Amino acid sequence: MPVPTKNEQVVIYPTEDEVALQVATHVAYFSDKIISEKGSFSVVLSGGTLINSVLTESPLQETMDWSKWLIFWVDERVVPLDDPQSNYLLALNGFLSKVPIPKENIYPINYSPSAETVAQDYEAQLRKLVADKVLPLSSTGFPQFDLILLGVGPDGHVASLFPNRPQRYNKKDWVTFIEDAPKEPPKRITFTFPVINSATCIAMVVTDEEEADAVYITLEHKPHLPPLPCSEVKAQLNLSWFLNWDAASKLPSSTNKK
């Protein structure tokens, strides 16, 4: 994969496996680059990202300086950490249990039945890490993560910011909560857009045909009311879309496909 040099790029490969490999290569590139520059690499996961399976394979697993990684979640279901619906458990089983990231560098939620309490607690964790100089602040006053991995829902949602829910418009909090998500489970916490868009790099990973309409509307800048949340994602340095042919099926045939 070519080294990313511009603010936004779209790469399309035939299969999900090929996309997964390119995402892993992309992550490895930025891991090496950012660790060499500042000594750590903060990665924000979401549910179902392909990083879970690919980064644990050779040769990528052996080349990564896992001791410098810091792991966070862009959103989480308000369920116990051992619940099958937990994004943390998904990452633990597919990724974190297979690589030597220090336990103290992994930042899951502290579960409570109250979504508001969980959101406030997770924001407090982030604020302490900023105060301790573990995480930097962006120029707009929000925590700046090195890399956020995002998927896209068929309705264009990212993280747990849904098209017809007010959380997408929250510009004040770092972490907010939702109690009526349009998919199960209804109670979740999520980073707000100011935090997401403060990230140095964002990788959008989409591999299902049911997301093809959202991809088309976003990348072709088509009008949509309300605007799709995925169309509002920005990054400070690099925003990369990784698509397979299914997810890119509505894009013009002239779009760059591998």
Torsion angle defined by CA atoms of residues 159, 164, 168 and 172, in that order, rounded to the nearest 10 degrees: -140
Identity of residue 235 = A
pLDDT over 90, % of the chain: 82
pLDDT at 167 over 60: yes
- Which pTM was predicted? 0.94
Which residue shows structure tokens 């959380």? 167
Q: How far out from the chain centre does Cα 77 lie?
A: 15
pLDDT confidence of residue 254: 53
User: Residue 7 — very low, low, confident or very high, per pLDDT cuts 50/70/90?
Assistant: confident
pLDDT at 2 over 70: no
Kindly state the average pLDDT of the residues 52-81.
Answer: 88
pLDDT tens digits for range 73-123: 999 999 999 999 999 999 999 889 999 999 999 999 999 999 999 999 999
Identity of residue 70 = L
Q: H-helix or E-strand containing 114?
A: none
Show me where the domains of the chain are located.
13-244
pLDDT confidence of residue 152: 96
The backbone torsions φ and ψ at residue 250, rounded to the nearest 5 degrees and listed phi first, read -95, -5
Please tell us whether the domain made up of 13-244 is placed in CATH 3.40.50.300: no
Between 52 and 129, whose confidence is greater?
129
pLDDT tens digits for range 193-249: 999 999 999 999 999 999 999 999 999 999 988 899 999 999 999 999 999 999 999
